[in-house]
Amino acid sequence: MLIYVPAYNVSHTLAVVIDRIPAELKRRAGEILVVDNASSDNTYLTAVQYKDKRGLNNMEIIRNPRNLGYGGSQKQAYRRAIEKGFDAVVMLHGDAQYAPEKIPGLLTTLEQQDADMVFGSRMLGDPLAGGMPLWKYVGNRALTKLQNLVLGLNISEYHSGFRVYRCSALRQIDLDSCSDDYHFDTDILIQLRLHEMKISESPIPTHYGEESRSPSTLEIASYSLNILRALVDFVVRYKLSGRSRRPYQKAANA
């Protein structure tokens, strides 16, 4: 198993996040991969110093000379997990928005439900009590309802960045056709759906703190618009044409 930590300007939270990964899991992980996506702060040095101080021989750190985007960083990590022969990859953000202590629960769900992918879902708990702004909660629920309707699924939340994938599932995904931006998460879910892979969920707590980085209003608007475009593309090119089991290829102008 590979634990992948996407890191962008998280020098103030990265050490705490890795510290909170259960000790037994840290020892058992084949690799803890921190991908510094061209941060402008000391994220990379923080990661290097943490590795040296804790003596984590299974911790690897990559610093991208330019920002590859949220999706681009994921592609990098998932290709590495596939190439190195790992069975699964956990994505845990480096900004402390998600609880590392819940990784074992996601892994248990992956095994017990024989899933190909598991969401850490805030909506299975009480996201408003955890500090999620009401407008984000309403937007999340509305987009999720629409995505379930279009994709024919029944998932409580599509917009959590706390996830586990089986590498056997990732091998069937055309990562190149997925976005390098935030809506990578939508693109890969559509491909999982088209390959009829099993998607499960595990409850996680919601945390919105000053230390956690949330997308800007402009980024959220762009993210939402791209989700709608992807859903329209799915309907037009697969549901209406009856090609629901063909591998997903985005249109050239998507």
Count other C-beta atoms under 10 Å from residue 172's C-beta. Answer: 13
For the residues 63-85, what does the mean pLDDT come to? 97
Closest CA to 227 of 133, 144, 124, 120: 144
Instruction: Report the CATH number of the 2-239 domain.
Output: 3.90.550.10
CA distance 131 to 139: 15
pLDDT digits (tens, 9 = 90+) for 17-56: 999 999 999 999 999 999 999 999 999 999 999 999 999 9
Residue 242: partners with Cβ closer than 8 Å, 6 or more residues away:
none
pLDDT digits (tens, 9 = 90+) for 88-135: 999 999 999 999 999 999 999 999 999 999 999 999 999 999 889 999
CA distance 159 to 165: 15
Give the per-residue pLDDT at 246.
44
Indicate whether 254 pLDDT > 80.
Answer: no
pLDDT digits (tens, 9 = 90+) for 191-247: 999 999 999 999 999 988 765 556 677 888 888 999 999 999 999 877 776 554 544
How far lies 98's CA from each of 20, 60, 163, 199, 238, in Å? 11, 21, 10, 19, 34
Domain ranges of the chain: 2-239
Q: Please, what is the Cα angle at 94 between 65 and 187, to 5 degrees? A: 75
Indicate whether 251 pLDDT > 50.
Answer: no
Q: At what angle do helices 134-151 and 217-234 cross, to 10 degrees?
A: 10
Tell me the DSSP string of 211-242.
TS----HHHHHHHHHHHHHHHHHHIIIIITTT
pLDDT digits (tens, 9 = 90+) for 142-197: 999 999 999 999 999 999 999 999 999 999 999 999 999 988 999 999 999 999 99
Question: What does R_g of the chain's alpha carbons equal in angstroms?
Answer: 18
Q: What is the pTM of this model?
A: 0.90
The band of 249, judged by pLDDT with boundaries at 50, 70 and 90, is very low
Residue 56: partners with Cβ closer than 8 Å, 6 or more residues away:
18, 26, 32, 50
CA distance 122 to 156: 8
CA distance 95 to 6: 9
Give the per-residue pLDDT at 238.
78
